[in-house]
Every structure is written in C-alpha cells, then in structure tokens.
Chain A
Amino acid sequence: MARKDVAIISVGYNGRFVSKRPDVSIPELIEPAVRDALRKTKLTINDIDAIAMGNMQTFEGVNSPHLWASDYIGGTGKPVIRIATGGTTGMSTFHSAYYHVASGIFDVVMAIAWEKQDEGDSQVGLGGILMPEVFAMFQFGPDLSEGRGLGIGIGTGGGGGSTGSASFQASSYLARSGGGIEHIDMIAALLRSNAAKNPYAHLQVPGCKPEDIAKTPIISYPLRYGHTCPTSCGATAIILASREKAKKYAMTDRVAWVKGVACGTSDATFGNLIDGQITDPAEQVAATMVAKKAYARAGIADPQKEVQMAEVYDGFAHQDLMWPERLLLVGDGKSPEMVAKGAYNIEGDMPINPSGGVVSTNAIGASAMVRVGEAALQVMGLAEGGHQVPRRVRNALAHGWGGLFQFVTVTILGDAPVQ
C-alpha cells in the first residue's frame, strides 16, 4: 500500500568532516555513520529492511563500493541499491530511500552517502565530467589552452563545480539582483561562523567577519578563495520509517516528516562545449520548477511565510544568495538586502545554512544528503553545538544541485505529515 506518511527518525555522521583520513579505508570511514544513525533510534541493524547508498565514485577509483562495504553498512543479506547523480547524489540517494518506504514495499530504510576525497585526484574527478568534449575541442575546435595546459581549459571552459565556471554564474547573479561582491563576503562570513557552531562541519571559523573573507585573493571575479568550498572526507546516514515504525522505533516524538520531494534536470548550462551556451547559469529555471512541485506536494501555498529555514547546496557562497530567490523563499533580487540586515542568520527571519553549508563542508557524494540531514535536525530540534535555529521549525527546505549546473533536487520536511 503506498504511503503518504514517511518520517526521518535519525541522522548520523561518522564524525567531523575533515580533509584527510589516512587512518581508515573507505568502508571503515562509512561504518561509524551507520552506527551513529542506529544508536539514535531503538533499531538494531536487523530492523533495517533496505539500504540505498551513493557517492561519486570517480573520486576514489572504486566502482560500486557498496560491494566492498557490504558488511560495514550492515548490508550483507539485505536489499541494497546504488544511486549516483553527480552533485545531487546525496539527495537522490535519500529520495530513493524515501520511495522504498513511500511505495509500501519497505518499512524502515537507511540512506547512506559519503565521499573520501583524499584518495583521489579531485581535478580528474571534476574535469572528467567534460573530458571527452574538451579533447574533441582540442582536436577540432579552438585552442582553449593557449599552450598553458589543460587546467585552464578545464577551469574556464568547463568542469561543473570549478570556480571558473561558477564565476560566470556569480557575475550574472549580481547583475540581476543588484548585489555586489560585498554581499558574497557577508554570506561567506556568516557560513564560516555558522560552521563553527556545528561540531560536524569541516571549515570552522568562529566569529568570521566579511573583512576576513575580503582579504582572501580573488580566484575568478567575483569569487574569492574565501567563497569556495573545501574537499572533505566523511559519511552520513539517515533512517526513514513508515508512520507505524516511526512510532515504534524513534527516540523522539518530534520526527521530521518528509512532506514533498521533487527533482529536475535542465540543460547542461555552462561548459556546454557541444551544444553551445544557451542558458544564463544564474537563471536556474529548473530550481524554481522543482521547488514549486515540492511545495505543491507538501501542501505549502506560501513558502515565504510557511517555511522557516533552508539548507541549500552552496558549493560557492554566492549561491546562498541565489538559491533562496530561485527556490521562492524570498522575492526575486531580495537576498543582498536579506543578508545585509541579518535575516539569513541563525537567529534571523529566514536562516540559510545554519550548518555552514557545502561551502564549509564538501564531501561531494554526501553534501546533498547532509542538507536533508541538517534540515531534519532543525525540525527535530536536535542540531548540536549552537547551530539550532531558535524559532520552531514547522517546515524546512533542503536543496541539492549538481551535474553540469543542471540537476536539482528539493526535499521539504515538516513537523507534521501532510494533511
């Protein structure tokens, strides 16, 4: 029987996200996250009916890593499925676990997402998105490198996620909204100091100020070094349950109900060396479309009033200004004003990324799932270290983004199921 009421009953982490974990193998990195999620419930591993697991495997060079990690995730003898969708992997994996339960086939399902970026070559990992097209351009098209090496070609010509490509999006966003580089400095400082209140975040800078960010060098205008994300190692696990099983196994009455999920794909904006650039990367029509779909499913008519906070996918700090507008949490062009007056702060009217966001912690495969986990913790009132928003969170939005600037996922969580 299909289910409308599916709840997140716990969120686990393997520990603090860090840049290197030379002391553990991949399965050894993931296992503590599974245990952490379990111990925050009344479940044993035997009560988990199925597992959905994801990461971006070109970063570690291990294909289908759930095969190696089967014992470590409690997956031996269980239904396990592997999901991967680029930057949105974490949330796509979570959505898969959600549909395991919403379909009525499984009652208690664990979603796991992780990345161990110290094991691979991140430039190959990212550059690999476009490698064939870049080589085709080298052989048959204009010379992107001018003899200065592949890095320039990848950095400016393509490579979803690298600063060169993102700077085009940032410039366009500032032009559209009337904001300036100072607003990106403001939000970056806010995120770094938020991260300092999150014991699991990677880059923690307590009391970080916009002036501190403004001192960091410009990589590609208007993006500074201080606006970009780290590469992190870590794992997260989220346990979902049907209404009956949530009642039986959750350790809190205040679970996070999954009210609406939606995803969307638009054209491969930027770096589209074959089709040509056809969309302004700051337009992100897909994000608005997907958000509307998720709100409709969640029964939310006025997100600006009904949603109290959001965890958005911000590989670059300007995206914390852009996404709230595209996701209809604030009016078009309003973010510079909102950040300037403190509305995006943890104590503000519309807290954005109290966890510190992707710009503070980016284990790529996990990042989009961490957005869901953090939003869930906010709804449940369980965010540790001082990053719990003070007002009661009735509805929270989690957002994931990836691919060649083209994949979007949105999850709406709430403190009560959809009526």
Chain B
Amino acid sequence: MERKVAVVGYTQTNYEKESPISRERIAFDLATAILQKLKISRDDVDTIVFSSNDFMDGRTISEVYLVQRVGAHMKDETKAEADGLNAVLYAWMRIMSGQYNTALVVSISMSGSQFRPLLVQNHTLDPAYERPRGLVNFISGAALQARAYMTKYHMSEENLAQYAVKSLENARKNPFTPKRDGVPTVKDVLNSKPLYDPLRELHTGPFVDGGCAVLLASEERAKELTDKPVWIKGFGHSLDTYYIGDRNIIRVNSLRDAAKRAYKMAGIKNPSRDISLAEIHTNFASEEPIFTEALGLFPDGSGVKTIKSGISRREGKLPVNPSGGPIGAQPMNATGLVRLVEAVSQLRGEAGPTQVKRARTAVVHAQEGVCAQHNVVGILGV
C-alpha cells in the first residue's frame, strides 16, 4: 500500500513591494508560525526542504543564513533550487520513502525589493543563442504564446482583458496581496502600458517580497497533528525542449505530460469533472486559458467560452485562481508554492474572503522557463 502524505499546516506572509523585515526574519516567522499553529516544536520536524535561488537572492548558496532561522540546526535539511512547489514534490518523496514522517518546506522571495527579476530572467536564457540575440525573453515568449492561441481560437483582446480582470477582482479580496486603487476594468487593462502585443502591464502581477511554508506529514502523524489533513493525491513534473521554435507553445506538452502523470497517480480520469478548484502559475493572464486546457479542465480552444460562461469565476463550478493567482502577487520562486498554500486553505474552508464553495479536489501548478518549459502539477484532496 502506498504511503499517504498530507499537508497538515501552512502559512504565508503578506506580499508587498518592500518587506519591512529582513528575509532572515521572514524565515523565522514562517517556521515559528507553523510550529505554533500545530503546537509542536522543531524536534517534531524530521526533515526540511528549502527552496531558494542564488540569482534571485543575489548571493551564492543563498540559504546559508536562512536555514538556522527555519530550525534546521543539527537537522536533516536540503534544497531544491527551483520554485517551492518542486521542494514539496521532493519532500513528499522523502516521506514516501518511509525514512521520514514530517517535512517542512519553506520558500522565501525578495523579488520586490532585493534585485531585478528581469535580470534574473535574462540569466535564465542560454548565453549562447537567446541571450546574445536579445529577442526571446520571458515576456516576448509569453506574448508569442498568447498571440498564437488567440489567432487559432479567435480570442479577442477584450476576452484576454476579461481574464485579467477576473484575477484582479479575486486578488482584491485576497488579504495577502498588495492592494491597488480600485479594481481595473476591461478598459483599464486595454489601456495599460503595452509590453509585447497582446500583453500589457495589467496582464501581469507585481513582483513582491514575501514567503510561505507548509508542513507535510505521513498518514499516522497527520492524524495526530490535524483533523483537517489535505492529502497529496498525486504529483507529476516534466520538462520540454529548450528553444520555443521546437515546441508547440499552444499545447504546452510538458504541462500536459505532468498533468497526465499526476492525474494517473491520483486516479483522476476526468479532470473537468473531478477537479473542483485550480490554483495555477500564470505569469500572464493569457496563460490561464492555455494552461487550464493543457490541464484538461476545459476543452482545447474553449478560452472565449470559458471566460464568458463564468465557470472559472470564484463562485463558478470550477474556480481558477480564486486567490487572484500571480496576477495578484508574484513572489518569484515561491509563486507555485503559494498556489498550494492557497489551495490547502480553500480545501480546509479557511480561505476567508476568497473562499470558494465546496472544493474537494484541487490541482496546483508551478512553471519554469520561457513559455512554461518545465511544469510541476500536484493534486490535493480532502
């Protein structure tokens, strides 16, 4: 019998342009918040999987001063240098091995105040071809992806703006994300600063400081620690080839692949029927129709129908990013883990102002690379 693993505790900070406290303090606050909520000490944490990125932190081995702050002193601690959702995937495998019963996963970002996120993205491009040519970058790539989808499936810029507005309205209710003056309308989105057509400033969220953490536990421990465990039903991850000219950027095959693996593990045969909530890593509003269709939540090419029908609204049948998603806040490197934290709070009925009705099974997602070259998909359920 497969060992079952649950998320038993979670916490996140407020996300802001500039954190009033240092990242070391954020780390300490995150870890102590979880320990206090669960009334345990750091002795109850068997292993820690950190998530940080040297370029994003502007320093080599960027976790050197953070690990003690999350209670890793004289403990088993390791790190995935990728979005926090990858760290959860790894922590889950450590528990599944039977060698650990609890795992703390922490991801902190200072992308609002500490460095230039676009410079980090530039370093993510290869130094041999894309970086020196200066044409393809994370924004232009996403724009090409958006344009390709919109052309093929007859989506207008107005429809695209409606996706942005839906997320912005949701973000407004999210107590953790930075507040704007009022909620932008479709017109505001269409008039916002153009980046690469069709993408504009209001199609994407602000880079912020902040972080989040979760505690995973094996079945026996989970039942001792909480009466509302959120079970990890499955995980899948996959990598596509590098150059966007060699990929189908509308289909995003690595996401379809990751989703397939995750659904198979979770025993989900019909995602559009069996999934009741999606928290996905959309750097731009255009990625919402593309990724939700790659995840099998809506039929391929149905982006216009989906946004018009209201099915993906917070009160709809299959809410997508009720937290506002990354359009609300982008703590670079923690963005995917925040999706899991949001989904867990939803499934436990603790999401407050952004709560959706009766969510029982959620899909969470993190991406990496231009046009989502790498994807991690997780399935959670109660």
* Contact between A and B in the complex (any CB pair below 8 Å): yes
Residue pair A264, B76 in contact (C-beta under 8 Å):
yes
**Which A residues touch B369, using CB under 8 A?**
64, 67
Residue pair B81, A84 in contact (C-beta under 8 Å):
yes
Pick from B2, B55, B65: contact of A1, CB under 8 Å: B2
Residue pair A3, B97 in contact (C-beta under 8 Å):
yes
Q: Which residue of A lies closest to B52 (CB)?
A: A84
Residue pair B96, A96 in contact (C-beta under 8 Å):
no
A281-B223 Cα distance, complex, nearest whole Å: 41
**Which A residues touch B126, using CB under 8 A?**
62, 68
Residue pair A77, B238 in contact (C-beta under 8 Å):
yes
* Chain-A contact segment, one of B67-75, B198-206, B341-349: B67-75
Residue pair B64, A99 in contact (C-beta under 8 Å):
no
Closest CB in chain B relative to A165 CB, distance in Å: 13
B39 CB within 8 Å of chain A = no
Interface residues of A in 274-315 (CB under 8 A from B): 274, 285-286, 289, 293, 297
B300 CB within 8 Å of chain A = no
A131-B254 Cα distance, complex, nearest whole Å: 37
Given contacts A25-B128, A70-B242, A267-B73, contact A103 B97 (CB under 8 A): yes
Q: Which residue of B lies closest to A55 (CB)?
A: B81
Closest CB in chain A relative to B271 CB, distance in Å: 19
Q: Which residue of A lies closest to B79 (CB)?
A: A85
Residue pair B90, A96 in contact (C-beta under 8 Å):
yes
Residue pair B374, A80 in contact (C-beta under 8 Å):
yes
Interface residues of B in 95-121 (CB under 8 A from A): 96-99, 120
Residue pair B98, A274 in contact (C-beta under 8 Å):
no
A284-B240 Cα distance, complex, nearest whole Å: 42
Residue pair B54, A84 in contact (C-beta under 8 Å):
yes
Closest CB in chain B relative to A268 CB, distance in Å: 5
**Which B residues touch A131, using CB under 8 A?**
58-59
Given contacts A1-B2, A84-B81, A289-B74, contact A99 B123 (CB under 8 A): no
- Chain B facing A: main interface SS: mixed
Closest CB in chain B relative to A125 CB, distance in Å: 6
Residue pair A285, B74 in contact (C-beta under 8 Å):
yes
Pick from B59, B81, B97: contact of A132, CB under 8 Å: B59
Residue pair B60, A63 in contact (C-beta under 8 Å):
no
Residue pair A128, B59 in contact (C-beta under 8 Å):
yes
**Which B residues touch A286, using CB under 8 A?**
74
Pick from B77, B78, B373: contact of A70, CB under 8 Å: B373
A19 CB within 8 Å of chain B = no
Q: Which residue of A lies closest to B91 (CB)?
A: A99
Closest CB in chain B relative to A335 CB, distance in Å: 24
Given contacts A129-B61, A265-B67, contact A71 B96 (CB under 8 A): no
Closest CB in chain A relative to B89 CB, distance in Å: 7
A187-B126 Cα distance, complex, nearest whole Å: 41
Residue pair B61, A86 in contact (C-beta under 8 Å):
yes
A58 CB within 8 Å of chain B = yes
Pick from B63, B99, B120: contact of A102, CB under 8 Å: B99
Closest CB in chain A relative to B143 CB, distance in Å: 19
Interface residues of B in 38-71 (CB under 8 A from A): 53-55, 58-61, 63-65, 67-68
**Which B residues touch A128, using CB under 8 A?**
54, 58-60
Closest CB in chain B relative to A28 CB, distance in Å: 10
Residue pair B78, A104 in contact (C-beta under 8 Å):
no
Closest CB in chain A relative to B87 CB, distance in Å: 9
* Chain-B contact segment, one of A195-203, A326-334, A346-354, A401-409: A401-409
**Which B residues touch A87, using CB under 8 A?**
61
B124 CB within 8 Å of chain A = yes
Residue pair A80, B237 in contact (C-beta under 8 Å):
yes
A267-B94 Cα distance, complex, nearest whole Å: 24
**Which B residues touch A25, using CB under 8 A?**
128
Pick from B2, B59, B67, B81: contact of A129, CB under 8 Å: B59
Residue pair A70, B239 in contact (C-beta under 8 Å):
yes
Closest CB in chain B relative to A119 CB, distance in Å: 8
Given contacts A3-B97, A81-B82, contact A76 B240 (CB under 8 A): yes
Given contacts A1-B2, A104-B2, A274-B65, contact A264 B77 (CB under 8 A): yes
**Which B residues touch A79, using CB under 8 A?**
236-239, 258, 261
A280-B253 Cα distance, complex, nearest whole Å: 52
A160-B59 Cα distance, complex, nearest whole Å: 13
B368 CB within 8 Å of chain A = yes
Closest CB in chain A relative to B372 CB, distance in Å: 11
Residue pair A85, B61 in contact (C-beta under 8 Å):
yes
**Which B residues touch A57, using CB under 8 A?**
54-55, 81
**Which B residues touch A103, using CB under 8 A?**
92-94, 96-97
Closest CB in chain B relative to A1 CB, distance in Å: 7
Q: Which residue of B lies closest to A133 (CB)?
A: B65
B127 CB within 8 Å of chain A = yes
Most buried by A among B1, B61, B75, B258: B61
Given contacts A63-B120, A265-B73, A297-B99, contact A77 B60 (CB under 8 A): no
Apart from A105-B93, A267-B68, 10 more pairs, CB < 8 Å: A61-B123, A64-B369, A66-B239, A71-B241, A80-B374, A103-B93, A105-B96, A131-B58, A266-B74, A286-B74
> Which of A's residues lie within 8 Å of B, judged by CB?
1-3, 25, 54, 56-58, 61-64, 66-71, 75-87, 92, 95-96, 99-100, 102-105, 125-133, 160, 262-268, 274, 285-286, 289, 293, 297, 402-404, 406-407
> Which of B's residues lie within 8 Å of A, judged by CB?
1-3, 53-55, 58-61, 63-65, 67-68, 72-82, 86, 89-90, 92-94, 96-99, 120, 123-124, 126-128, 235-242, 253-254, 257-258, 261, 368-369, 373-374
28 inter-chain pairs at a CB distance below 8 angstroms, sorted by A residue, are A54-B81, A57-B81, A62-B123, A63-B123, A64-B124, A67-B373, A68-B126, A80-B239, A81-B86, A82-B81, A82-B82, A84-B81, A86-B64, A96-B78, A99-B90, A99-B97, A102-B93, A103-B92, A103-B93, A104-B96, A131-B58, A131-B59, A132-B58, A263-B78, A265-B73, A265-B75, A266-B74, A406-B67
